[in-house]
Structure 1
Amino acid sequence: MRHSRVRNRVTVLALIALIVIGLLIGTYVLTQEDETPAEQTHVTLFLSYVPSVQFAPIYIAKERGYFADEGIDLEIENSFNEADGVQRLGSNDLQFGIFSGEQVVLGRAQNLPLVYIMEWYHRFPVGIVSPVEQGITEPADLAGHIVGVPGPFGANYLGLRALLADADLTEADLGELRSIGFAAPEAICEGQVEAAAVYIANEPLTIEQQCTEVNVIEVSDYTNLVANGLVTNETTISDNPDLVRGMVRAILHGVADTLADPDAVFEVSVEKYVTDLPEDQYDTQRQVLQNSLALWQSDQPGATDPEAWNHMQTILLDTGLLSAPLDDLSAGYNMSFLPD
């Protein structure tokens, strides 16, 4: 009987010990779960346009944990309203976005404290596309033709004006400069215009698939302008330089992975991020990604050219989009966050 009571007491003590250990383990797990989010800084990255393989380096960096490795919990926001993104970034409602370079100059002219911290594209991504029968193969050939732009604003218009300047032409030398919105393929295929300023990675391909072979004049073959880049603001740089540095490192890591193995990155992009892509568009979008690789390639990843900023400001002044030169153009870009 006594031995039985002893065994029962041991059993009870063992159960109590197991319960205590379980509680301790549970408390530890809960504590760890509570602490994990606190170690990550939530960041919204503004990307213009819609989810697209053109943002594949961002997707692969997020998927492979490069942002998380930098203590960043990344949220991606896509929008056609680039101007709204610029304003929000300038007021510190956003901390990061990828914008065309002229938006930084124009924003700083409006006292928005924008700072360009990493070049996303190393070639200006705009060109002039036209049906081959138009015979437009160099900037001087644009004279007398009807040319479409989304409107008298943005990188498309800036690129056109830069090409006209290179050929000693003005808008008056064109047959007509026509605003067509962001519908260049339709405008070309329906004969509304004879040429159009477009983003070269995807729109010429779309036009060829829809209606006709094309010639493309790439702006970067004739002039040096600031391409799209990662932009933040002075407050974020002052308050959290390590966060800025981490964003740059993560994105450049994603760019390197994309250049090294675009097929693998494409598969991740369409599986996890560009999820509404029809299967019959896979080959087209693979080519869009392939076309984008040349825009990312550089001997100095992320670095921008000060001369490109000077030239871009000159074009902005010539177009009237900028009324006076900035007091300190170099304050609009900061390359100190790039990896050594």
Structure 2
Amino acid sequence: MRRFLAAVTAVMALLPAAACSAGDADNAAPATKVSVGVIPIVDVAPIYLGKQKGFFSSRGIDLSLVAEQGGAPIVKGVLSGKYEFGFSNVTSLMAAQADGAPVKMVANGITSNGRQGRDFSAIAVDQHSPIRDASELAGKRVAVNTLKNLGDTTVRQSVRKAGGDPSRIEFVAMPFPDMPAALQGGTVDAAWVVEPTLSTTLTQGGRIIASNLVDTAPDMTVAAYFTDTGLIDKNPDLVKRFTAAIDESLGYADGHPEEVRDVVGTYTTITDVVRISMILPTWPTTVNRASLQRLAKLAEQDGIITGEPDLDALLPGTPPGS
């Protein structure tokens, strides 16, 4: 009887706590649904890892990731309200900002590792191509994911640095995953490829002839996460929570390269050989402003950006229009 009474007492003692927990769950605020436009390349591995690890859900964010071909359509998606946030190369963001679009970076996205010949981004040719260096791309067809953007400027800079004529390149737009086959089939003479497409190209016999990001600026900030300044004004708390989750994701990715390799295989189709051989970038939480200034000058020189972007207003941590 004593054992029975003790058990009943223990159960009764747990009931208030259980009721309280149930009430707390019922009263908990629902997670905020957030859509982010991304590109299915190694660059966005941190945000996929962050979603897996709960860095967003722990901050009350129900994250949805939507793949696009390049930064330009993602900028349009954010400005139209299709996405709350987006991932875009910095050329697209600077061009949009220079044109008066209300875009604002909220976190760094990805940075070149700065290693010539061993960066995650490169200009590649087929193994049978007679092209030996970037100077020979004048008059040739070069694949990039989107026209009049980061690929154009950085490829031209590699050609310029090698002593060639960058004005004579014919750029061809195509998705990154289509580029290895285009090189093998002779549809294009060269391609700007980033991981995991770079390793796919190399495993199929392709050759690197230049590291275009390294040729453009040391430790170049390549892309960033951004939003519309209207969202910052309307919901600064959401922007703050999203930025904190991204920063945690970037730090985690930098410290766990093997998990990066694994997660890339969840949103792209890659072989084990490619997964193991991928060249990884770096994911610092800070933007390299000097590299953006350099890139902006080159983009303006190449006619990709009209007008000078206001980096004070565009970069994270500064109020819009300051």
Q: What's the TM-score, normalizing by structure 1?
A: 0.74
CA distance in 2, matches of 1:277, 1:134: 26
Say whether residues 1:296 and 2:282 are aligned partners: yes
2:147 is paired with a residue whose SS is: coil
2:226 is paired with a residue whose SS is: strand
CA distance in 1, matches of 2:253, 2:146: 32
The match for 2:23 among 31, 48, 53 is 31
Say whether residues 1:283 and 2:269 are aligned partners: no
- Larger deviation, residues 123-132 vs 218-227: 123-132
Deviation of 1:315 (Å): 2.1
1:80 is paired with a residue whose SS is: coil
> Could you give the per-residue CA deviations for residues 170-227 of structure 1, whole angstroms, max 9, x where no partner exists?
34455xx25252332122111233322222x2223222333x2412411232222541
CA distance in 2, matches of 1:64, 1:37: 21
Say whether residues 1:46 and 2:37 are aligned partners: yes
The answer on whether the counterparts of 2:312 and 2:318 sit within 8 Å (CA) in structure 1 is no
> Could you give the per-residue CA deviations for residues 110-154 of structure 1, whole angstroms, max 9, x where no partner exists?
322111232211118642112455465543343454433345323
CA distance in 2, matches of 1:71, 1:59: 16
The match for 1:218 among 196, 208, 211 is 211
Letter of the aligned partner of 2:286 in structure 1?
A: A
> Could you give the per-residue CA deviations for residues 22-46 of structure 1, whole angstroms, max 9, x where no partner exists?
7x788655533333343x3322222
2:110 is paired with a residue whose SS is: coil
Please report the RMSD computed on the Cα atoms of aligned residues, expressed in angstroms.
3.5
Consecutive unaligned residues in structure 1, runs of 5 or more: 1-13
Q: 1:180 to 1:304 in 2, by over 3 A?
A: closer
Say whether residues 1:192 and 2:187 are aligned partners: yes
Q: What's the TM-score, normalizing by structure 2?
A: 0.77
Say whether residues 1:334 and 2:316 are aligned partners: yes
Which residue pairs with 1:55 in the alignment?
44
Which residue pairs with 1:11 in the alignment?
none
Q: 1:167 to 1:74 in 2, by over 3 A?
A: same
CA distance in 2, matches of 1:77, 1:253: 21
Deviation of 1:102 (Å): 0.9
Say whether residues 1:233 and 2:228 are aligned partners: yes
Question: Which of structures 1 and 2 has the bigger CA Rg?
Answer: 1
Deviation of 1:252 (Å): 2.7
Report % sequence identity.
Answer: 19
Letter of the aligned partner of 2:312 in structure 1?
A: S
The answer on whether the counterparts of 1:57 and 1:257 sit within 8 Å (CA) in structure 2 is yes
Q: 1:246 to 1:287 in 2, by over 3 A?
A: farther
Q: 1:80 to 1:296 in 2, by over 3 A?
A: same
1:296 is paired with a residue whose SS is: coil
1:323 is paired with a residue whose SS is: coil
2:192 is paired with a residue whose SS is: strand
Deviation of 1:259 (Å): 3.0
